[in-house]
Chains A and B, each alone.
Chain A
Amino acid sequence: MVFMKGTKLMPQCGFSNNVVQILNSLGVEFGAFDVLSDFTIREGIKEYSDWPTIPQVYLKGEFLGGSDILIEMYNSGSLKEKIEIELAS
């Protein structure tokens, strides 16, 4: 699940776009919520995960990180591995 600025088809921020491109390139099905459409969620999600920026990526409820971490995990291959494990379980 991705909390992002904009939508999958129309990301409104470079960092949000990075995350969408990464997940698309892995062929992963994911839900996306446009935090620009709801200020309470935009701020609340930051409190929830103790993470001050958007986008935020969750895999089966577990907070993975933002754009930087997704890129690092994607480049190291650990993102693909983690997703495959989660989807298999």
Chain B
Amino acid sequence: MITKKDVIELITKKIPSSQVFVENLKGNDHLQVTVIASEFNGLSLVKQHQLVYSALKEELASETIHALALKTETPN
């Protein structure tokens, strides 16, 4: 089982300047995550998402997180 706090910690460890918002879509393994980070500047959408996914690699592989709706933004 993974908590919102765990998800936020995992992402901020990988993307230090990020602001992370996590919502449970269904149960606690279907998550809606929004990440705002300056590290995304100049990165394509795919690269931005890959950065976030790399922070959650084990959780996604083990299906602790079954589905992840992801939104990434750069701070304006």
How would residues 58 to 89 of chain A score, 1 for a CB under 8 Å from any chain B CB and 0 otherwise? 00000111111100110000000000000000
Evaluate contact between B45 and A53: CB separation under 8 angstroms: no
Interface of A toward B, CB cutoff 8 Å: 15, 50-53, 63-69, 72-73
Evaluate contact between B67 and A15: CB separation under 8 angstroms: yes
Evaluate contact between B50 and A68: CB separation under 8 angstroms: no
Interface of B toward A, CB cutoff 8 Å: 45-46, 49-50, 53, 56-57, 60-61, 67-71
Residues of chain B within 8 A of A73, CB atoms compared: 45
Cross-interface CB contact of B46 among A15, A52, A53, A65, cutoff 8 Å:
A65
**Interface SS majority for chain B:** helix
- A and B contact pairs by CB, cutoff 8 A, 16 listed: A50-B50, A51-B46, A51-B49, A51-B50, A52-B53, A52-B56, A52-B57, A53-B53, A53-B60, A53-B67, A65-B45, A65-B46, A66-B49, A67-B69, A68-B70, A69-B45
Residues of chain B within 8 A of A15, CB atoms compared: 67
Residues of chain B within 8 A of A67, CB atoms compared: 69
Most buried by B among A52, A53, A65: A52
Known contacts A50-B50, A63-B46; is-contact A68 B60 (Cβ 8 Å): no
